[in-house]
Each structure stands twice: as C-alpha cells, then as structure tokens.
Amino acid sequence: MHTPKAEPADHRFLDEAGDTTFYGSGRQLILGQNGVSLAFIIGMLKVSEPLPALRAAVLAEQAAITADAYVNCIPSVAKKIQRGGFFFHAKDDPLEVRAAFFKFIATRQVSFEAVVARKLPDLFRLKHHDRESEFYADLLSHLIKNKLQQPGRLVLNIAHRANSTSNANLQLALEKAEGRSLRTHSPDTHQRRVVFNVQNHQQEPLLNIADYFCWAVQRVFERGETRHYDFLGERISLVVDLYDQPAYPGSRNYYRGTNRLTAANKLSPPTV
C-alpha cells in the first residue's frame, strides 16, 4: 500500500509587545500614560535548528532559574514557580534572569522579524473601526503576507491574546494577508496551507524566545534603548515601522542589513 509523504511543515513562533489600548474612561486618549504603549508589535521567530532540541534547551534554562537560590526568591520569579512553573517573560523577569536568557538566545540558530504599528488614533478609527481585534488582525496580516508563496504547511504557533487570537480574527488576518500577497504574486504561487496553533508560554517554550525578541524591539520604540536590540544583532533580520510615512521613500521604514534601529526611533506621545 502506498503511503503518501507527510506534508512538510514550516513552524514559526509569534508573540507581541505593547498593547492595543487607545482610550481610557470617557474615551480619552491615554497613549503613553499609565503603562499604555505608543506602539504595538507582533514578531515572528524562525528556528534553524531541531525544534525538540531547542525546546529542551529552553526548559533546561527554566529549570536552572527555578533551582537558582540567588534568583528564585525574587517575587516575580517565585510567583511563577508557585503558579505552575517558571517561564521566561522579559517584561516580568528581573535583570539577572534577562541577562542569562539574552545570552542563551545569542547562542542559538534563530532569526526574528517584526512589524511595528504606531498607535495613531485617526488611523485606528478609519482603518480599524476603533476595534482592537481588527488592529491586531491587520498588523498580523502584514507579518505573514510574504510567507504564503512556498509549498507545504505553515504552522503559526501564536501566543494567546484574548479576542485577538480567536479563530475568526486569525482567519481575518489570513484573508487580509492573502489579499495583500495577490497584489504582487500570482494566485498560482499560493500553495501554502496555513495552520494557527494558539498556545501560551508554558505550553510552548519557544514562545519565550519570541517574547524576548519582541521586548528588545519594543524598548527601542518606547524608550530609545538599543542595548538589547544591538546585542541580538543580525538575528533580528527585519523590523518594519509600518506607519512611518515620511520614511516610505526608499523603504527606509524597513530596518534590515545596515539600516538598523537607533535611539532616534524612539516615539513621542501624541500632542493632542
């Protein structure tokens, strides 16, 4: 009996940084206030080494933090241990933990790209109809639109985010991505089957790495801090500042190669 070959699968790991919040009570803009970000970022990790081995290595790093008496007593670490097990999350992790995991990432065969959306109120109203889930779907579509042309199966292991990662919203993102792809590619090239696999950071250790990359990019845009972005270097292959219209000529809003992010990419709160 002939057994068909298994469909090749290309796994990517997606996480985000920042938030999709624009308004507070009374529909007042609160961008840059009370911990509300000025941009929202979705990033995608590509792994060029065996996935099981890298997962095991991340789990070993998690176990090392759990067993380390110097850091396992820090409240943010102890809370995770007590609630089911430590996992890396850059926003919550203390400096010592961040340093260890950034150094770990720098030894691995991975690459990362991200799309950054400045939170522009007029654009949010006109393009996304004041809907945070639609904002998320539109941004995700830009990240995956150029990944649809190869044969095989594309598995997007994506960090859970309430309504934004509902099946309906992810399908909306895929439809938008396909529409954008067809502007520059023939329909015949759309052979790839896309599968969304929504997970959390405890279920999928490789999302821990995607999270750290997202955080490194976010620090540039929110604080003008390039230290972590620079440390990861060429492993961050592309960052698209999607709504930086003045930089559109010459695709200067595409940060790759020698065109790197700097402290000048720091965003400022809106003046209205």
Domain borders along the chain are 9-265
pLDDT given for residue 271 in this prediction = 66
Q: Name which of 170, 146, 151, 175 is nearest 160 in CA terms.
A: 170
pLDDT at 272 over 70: no
Contacts of 79 (CB under 8 A, 6+ apart): none
pTM of the model: 0.94
Tell me the fold of 9-265: Nucleotidyltransferase; domain 5 (3.30.420)
Distance CA 229, CA 196 (A): 28
Residue 239, helix vs strand vs coil: strand
pLDDT by residue (tens digit) across 218-227? 999 999 999 9
HSE-CB of 31 using CA atoms within 13 angstroms: 18
pLDDT given for residue 181 in this prediction = 86
pLDDT by residue (tens digit) across 181-219? 888 776 666 667 899 999 999 999 999 999 999 999 999
pLDDT at 121 over 80: yes
Region 91-117: mean pLDDT is 97
Phi/psi for 104 (5° steps) reads: -65, -50
pLDDT by residue (tens digit) across 134-173? 999 999 999 999 998 887 899 999 999 998 999 999 999 9
Average pLDDT value for the chain: 93
Distance of CA 91 to the CA centre of its chain: 13
pLDDT at 1 over 80: no
pLDDT given for residue 152 in this prediction = 85
Q: Name which of 234, 214, 217, 108 is nearest 161 in CA terms.
A: 214
pLDDT given for residue 190 in this prediction = 64
